[in-house]
Amino acid sequence: MDLVTVRELYKNREAYLDKEVSIGGWVRSVRASKAFGFIVVSDGTYFETLQVVYHDTMANFAEISKLNVGAAIIVKGTLVATPDAKQPFEIQATEVSVEGPSAPDYPLQKKRHTLEYLRTITHLRPRTNTFQAVFRVRSLIAYAIHQYFQERDFVYVHTPLITGSDCEGAGEMFQVTTMDLNNIPKNEDGSVDYTKDFFAKPTNLTVSGQLNGETYAMAFRNIYTFGPTFRAENSNTTRHAAEFWMIEPEMAFADLEDNMEVAEGMLKYVIRYVLEHAPEEMAFFNNFIDKGLLDRLNNVVNSEFGRVTYTEAVKILEEHNDQFDYKVSWGCDLQTEHERFLTEQIFKKPVFVTDYPKEIKAFYMKMNPDGKTVAAVDCLVPGIGEIIGGSQREDSLEKLAARMDELGLKKEDYQFYLDLRKYGSARHSGFGLGFERCVMYLTGMGNIRDVIPFPRTVGNCDL
């Protein structure tokens, strides 16, 4: 079909003004008088709408005038400049054909709907302004992340979703099976007979691609993953979903400093990309969702991120313990209130906190010479707290094995991971960025359910 997009009309208006154009889109509103009427149309390709003027010279004038919100139409006409109006141009229609009407009970009307209500109609909410903005920006962020890493020759690795290992705590994982739950095959001793399952063993949905990603970093030097991860956490908060996407870069011959440089570069790159490619959407968020958003993001782009060790950060925070619900002392994990205090009140910009106590971090993080802390790093940003978590990885076979013994981890489950330290080990580092948290950060949206097209949370798996 020879239809121009509304985006194209806005971006290259000079090429279309005073020419005949055809567009297809959905009715946002119709105002009709006796002799003529106005239709506001969105075709979903651009945040701004397009006004169409039509006249009673058309045979279907009455039909058009009665169109409900949401109807699909195809409009043919001349694009004319409207120097005195709010919008820069409109279509003087010669033909409006109804592609598909919208039934009278259409759940979206011109009034503003609550985000809660819109969550009940996930298949229709992307037709609203807010979700047009959210999901276009989500798409742009995803692409910006790919572009950032690909321009730097990182190899995109698809780590597996279904996994036979349960590296980070089986309690929070989803099990994957093809066995009939009404009739589970059993061994003689009554236990589940997994030889009858699809993979002939218990399998789960992954919680992280990191360990797999490391194997590829030790082959390609610089890699990144970008894929779904899962948590079966029974937590009903605005920041947790059972299914979400993660970006996990991993770099060989890279220390914690390199890790921070890549993380800082990535965040700034993505923010700049979105500000440049979705100015209308970002202005909308700033006006209607989160008033300080643009100032905050511009500040991030233009500031050098702060650096502070965990030990220093705890000293700073202890002086303000009267302001916290949860008092800080060395050894405790930092809560969101502490993280936000550091980045918002102390540094007033994003800050990397490094070198955490080994007890509160994962087994694979590189032990520092002090024997007490590990080369971990969290990136804290104003308005959110932690957005990135990473570390330099333990590259010594002996130290890694000793730490696994300390924690009671079975080495036979991690043989491939130990092999990376046995055959050509190299210092290496990586981090994880929760994609949805990044989308929330860039849009100001407050609930993770509103930045995922079809969110999955405890008790909810619609569509």
Does residue 15 bind a copy of itself (CB under 8 A)? Answer: no
Footprint on residues 412-451 left by a copy of itself (CB under 8 A): 416, 419-427
Q: How many CB atoms are located within 10 Å of the residue 224 CB?
A: 27
Residue closer to a copy of itself by CB (options 272, 456) is: 456
Does residue 65 bind a copy of itself (CB under 8 A)? Answer: no
Q: Which residues contact 68 (CB under 8 A, 6 or more apart)?
A: 27, 101, 102, 103, 104, 106
Residue 367 DSSP class: B
> Which positions from 388 to 407 touch a copy of itself by CB under 8 A, shown as an x/- string?
-------x------------
Among residues 58, 61, 70, 340, the one that binds a copy of itself under rule CB under 8 A: 70
Footprint on residues 298-317 left by a copy of itself (CB under 8 A): none
> Which positions from 223 to 242 touch a copy of itself by CB under 8 A, shown as an x/- string?
----xx-x-x-x-------x
Single out the segment in contact with a copy of itself by CB under 8 A; choices: 97-105, 281-289, 314-322, 324-332.
97-105
Inter-helix orientation angle 415-422/210-220, to 10°: 30
Among residues 49, 65, 130, 203, the one that binds a copy of itself under rule CB under 8 A: 203
Q: Nearest approach, Cβ of 440 to a copy of itself (angstroms)? A: 14
Does residue 146 bind a copy of itself (CB under 8 A)? Answer: yes
Residue closer to a copy of itself by CB (options 46, 341) is: 46
Q: Nearest approach, Cβ of 306 to a copy of itself (angstroms)? A: 22
Residue 383 DSSP class: T
Q: Nearest approach, Cβ of 430 to a copy of itself (angstroms)? A: 14
Torsions phi, psi of 34, nearest 5?
-65, -40
Both tokens of residue 154? 């990182």
Total residues found in the chain within this entry: 463
Q: Which residues contact 154 (CB under 8 A, 6 or more apart)?
A: 222, 223, 224, 249
Residue closer to a copy of itself by CB (options 135, 356) is: 135
Does residue 326 bind a copy of itself (CB under 8 A)? Answer: no
Footprint on residues 21-60 left by a copy of itself (CB under 8 A): 24-27, 43-45
Does residue 411 bind a copy of itself (CB under 8 A)? Answer: no
Exposed, middle or buried: residue 353 (CB in 10 Å: 0-12, 13-18, 19+)?
Answer: buried
Among residues 33, 57, 114, 182, the one that binds a copy of itself under rule CB under 8 A: 182
> H or E element: which one contains 147?
helix 129-151
299, 441 Cβ separation under 8 angstroms: no
Buried b (16+ CB within 10 A) or exposed e, 30-59: bebeeebbebbbbbebbbebbbbbbeeebe
Q: Nearest approach, Cβ of 175 to a copy of itself (angstroms)? A: 5
Does residue 175 bind a copy of itself (CB under 8 A)? Answer: yes
Find, among 37, 38, 26, 51, the residue nearest to 106 by Cα. 26
